[in-house]
């Protein structure tokens, strides 16, 4: 299926699935601040998130959410008083249709602090799901390659792991919000 391209200022629904096609998590809305052939950049701000088990919560702080059409990861940059914290999901490239932006989440995550120290998360969950859902060796290779690529970007402070870039995206949202209300 060909992906549609979201429009800037569009409000869009985000759906994340698991390898077995079960719904993993949804975000009620993200506001598009950039949309090109490589990525979609959204802002989530006090957005309702629904987990697969039905739990619901509201995001605490604004976040810049960067999703890629060809990369096997996405980045959530959370805007906190103490700096920008990054949360990286190793996931399929996105597909956009009339309903939502969609991807498959593969458990492996990277948490990055403002000082660029990082921690790999959910390795046990990944191993469990790999076995349970039958991830192929080729898929395992792709996912670990993506994780290593992200770590290299963090270590080099390459975009999107650049606070100035994240602040610029957020400022677009602030100006866009003023236009909307």
Residues with a known catalytic role = 25
With beta carbons less than 8 A apart as the criterion, state whether 62 and 54 touch.
Answer: no
Within 13 Å of residue 20, how many CA atoms lie on the same side as its CB? 10
The CB density around residue 79, as the number of other CB atoms within 10 Å, is 19
Q: Give the Cα separation of 59 and 87 in Å (integer).
A: 13
d(CA 44, CA 30): 5
Residue ranges with strand state E in 81-121? 83-91, 95-96, 101-112, 118-121
Query: Is the distance from CB of 43 to CB of 62 less than 8 angstroms?
Result: yes
In DSSP terms, which residues pair with 49 in a beta bridge? Answer: 27, 57
């Amino acid at each position: 299926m060909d992906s549609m391209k979201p429009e800037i200022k569009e409000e869009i629904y985000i759906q994340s699935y698991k390898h077995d096609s079960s719904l993993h998590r949804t975000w009620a809305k993200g506001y598009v601040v950039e949309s090109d052939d490589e990525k979609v950049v959204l802002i989530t701000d006090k957005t309702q998130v629904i987990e697969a088990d039905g739990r619901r919560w509201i995001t605490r702080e604004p976040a810049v959410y960067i999703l890629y059409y060809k990369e096997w990861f996405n980045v959530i940059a959370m805007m906190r008083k103490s700096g920008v914290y990054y949360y990286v999901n190793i996931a399929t490239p996105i597909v956009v249709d009339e309903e939502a932006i969609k991807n498959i989440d593969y458990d492996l995550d990277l948490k990055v602090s403002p000082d660029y120290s990082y921690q790999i998360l959910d390795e046990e969950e990944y191993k469990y799901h790999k076995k349970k859902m039958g991830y192929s060796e080729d898929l395992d290779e792709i996912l670990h390659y993506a994780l290593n690529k992200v770590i290299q970007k963090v270590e080099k402070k390459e975009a999107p792991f650049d606070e100035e870039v994240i602040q610029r995206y957020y400022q677009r949202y602030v100006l866009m919000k003023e236009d909307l209300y």
